[in-house]
Structure 1
Amino acid sequence: MRRVPLRPGRRVSVCAALLLAVSCGTAGGGSGEGPAPGAPAGVTADAGSATSVHVMWNAAGSGVRTYEVYRGPTKVGEVPAAQHMVDVTRLRPATRYVFTVRARSADGRLGPPSREARARTPAYAAADQVAPSRPGGVTGRVVDGRAVQLSWTAAHDDRGVRSYAVQQGGVKIHGVGGGQTATVVTGLRPGTGYTFTVRAQDAAGNLSPASTPVRLTTPGTDDRRGTAPTGFEVTSRHEAGSYYLELAWEPPRVDGVITEYQIRLDEGTDSSLVWGGTPPRGRAHHSLYAGREAGQVHRVRLRARLPDGTWGGFSTERTVTTGR
C-alpha cells in the first residue's frame, strides 16, 4: 500500500530534558515490568470527508495490547493491537488537525507518541448532492491467508473524490485517500470466501454506487473456532406488563472491534444489534422485548459480525420461559 510521507511535527520531550537528573518512569502509568512499547511509525492521516480523517500506522512491535489515537492532546480512539487504522469522525470542515498514536502494553504501560501526522478537512459543500461515479475495473489477488490486494480505476466527481471505502458484505472494513487506487486489506481469516466492493466518497459525504464485486478466497483452513460469543446466558424479566429477555455474553476474541450482532429468536426471527458508539469492554448485555404473555418458551442464540465483514459462529443456544 502506498503511503504519502507527511512532514513531522515538532515535539518537545520533557523526559529527554530530565534524563540525567531523574527517571521519568512509565509513560501513562502501569505497574508492570519491562520497558514501555516504542512509538508507532509510519503514521499517516488523510481526510475522508469534510468531517472525518482516516489515520493509519505501522505496528509498534510485540507486547502491544491496544493503540490509542490522539487529536492534539485529546484521545479520540482506541483499537486492539491487530488493528492499525481508525476513522476519526465528527470533525470540523476546513480545519487543520494533528494526530499522534501511542501503543499500550499488556501490563498497562503507555509508550511515547508517534511523530505527528497532519491533515486538513475540506470545506463542506452543503449544496453538493451529486455523488461520485462508480469506481471501475476492480481486481484483486490473494497475498496470503490473511491479506488480499485490491486495485481499481479512479472514480470521478465534479468537486473531487476525497476517499474510497472498501466494503465486504456491505460493511466498510477499510479506507484510503482519494488519490489512491490500490490497497492491501489485512486481518482476514484463512480458508474464507470474501466479496469486496469499492465506493468513492466526496467532501460532502456523498457515496458512489458500489463497484462490481470481486470475489476472493484466502488459502488455508478455518474451523471458525473462537469466532462465537461465549458465556451466553438468558433470563426473563417482567416490567410494566411486558416481558423482556436479558442477554449477556462474552464477545469473541478477534483481531479488531465488533460493533454488530445478529440475534436469532426461535429460529424464525433475526434482529440486529448495532452499538451506536464504542462497544462495551468485557461482558456485553442487551434487553430483548418478548411480549406480554407469561409461560412463553423462547430459544435464543447470537453471532457477531467480525471485523472482516463476515459472520462468526453462533453462540450456544439457550432456552428461557417468560415469567420464570
Structure 2
Amino acid sequence: MDQDLEKTRLQWRQLKELSIKKKAPYLLFQHPLVPDQMLNHYQSFDFSDITFDNRKTLNDMQLAFPRLANKMRIRKETNKIAGKEIQQWLIEAIESVVHKQDGITLTIEQTEALTVIDIDSNKFTSRQNKQETMYRINQKALKYCLEEIQKRNLSGIILIDFLKMRKAEEAALLKQMQVTVKEDPLPTQVFGFTRLGLMELTRKRERTGLIQLLTNHSASARLPLSAETIAYQLERELISWNDGNIESMIILCHEEVVAFFNRFIKQHVKTKIHFTLYCQTDNKSCEFQVIRAGSDDLIEEYIKQHQEIAVDRML
C-alpha cells in the first residue's frame, strides 16, 4: 500500500507541474483502456495468469500493480493464449450459442433494448430425478451466464430463461444469483423472476459491449467483424509470418481494412516484419486472405501475370 501511495503522490506532483505549464482546456492524464484501466478495474479478482506480448508494457504494469506483478508474464506464443488462437477466442466471445462441456448450452440474443439468455440442457446427463436434475443444471448455468455477461460486458436489462423450477428452487437460485453478482466489479441489481418465469437483472453500462466493439452490428447472430477487428487480426497474422523465410507477400482484403491498417497499425507492423507487403483490395470479402508468400521473384512474377488486378505496396 505504501508503494501505491508514493507512486500516486509522485504522479500527482507531475500532473500539478504540467497543469501550470499548459493552458486550459488541456487533458492532463488519461489511463489507457488496455491494460491500465482493465487491470485497475479487476485487480481485486483472483487472477492465476496475466500475459503480455510486449516487454515494456509488462514492466510498466508490474510497477503500476505490484500486487499482481508475480502473476504477469510475456506470452511465448505469438498468436495464441492458453493454447488457443486469439481469433478463436474473439469469435467464441461473440457467438450467440455457447456450448459447455457438461452438455449445457446458452443462447445469447442481444438487442438495443435488452439481452436474453436461454438455457438448454438436451445433452446434459445425470442419474438424479428430473426435477433435481433441472435445478442442478440451473445452478451450473447461473455461473456460466455470469461468466458470459462479464466476458461480453453485457449491460442494461438482462433476462435469463432458466429451466422450469418449483417456487422454492426459484427462491434458492435467486439468492445464489444475488450473492454471486456481488463479485462483479460493475453494479448489478437482481430483481427476481417475472410472471413468465424469467430472471430479471440490470447491469451498469460502463463501456461498449464486446460485440459492438468487434462487429458492425449490435445483434449477436453470426455477423461480419468490423474493419478494425480484421485489421488487428491482420497485424497478428503478419507478425506470425515474420519467422518464416519469405521476402514478399500479397494479401487480399477490404479497402476499409486497408484504410484502418494504414492509419493506426502500419507504423507498428513496419518495425516488426522484414518482408515486403503488397495488397489487393476486394470489397466483397469481409476477411483478409494471403494470396502469395515467398521470394521477391515469385511475387513479381505473380504481379506481371495478373496485370489486370491492381496490386499496391503497403510496406
TM bin, normalised by shorter chain, reads under 0.3
What is the TM-score when the length of structure 1 is the normalising length? 0.27
What is the TM-score when the length of structure 2 is the normalising length? 0.28
Bigger relative contact order (CA 8 A; separation at least 6): 1
Larger C-alpha radius of gyration, 1 or 2? 2
- The structure with the largest strand share of the pair is 1
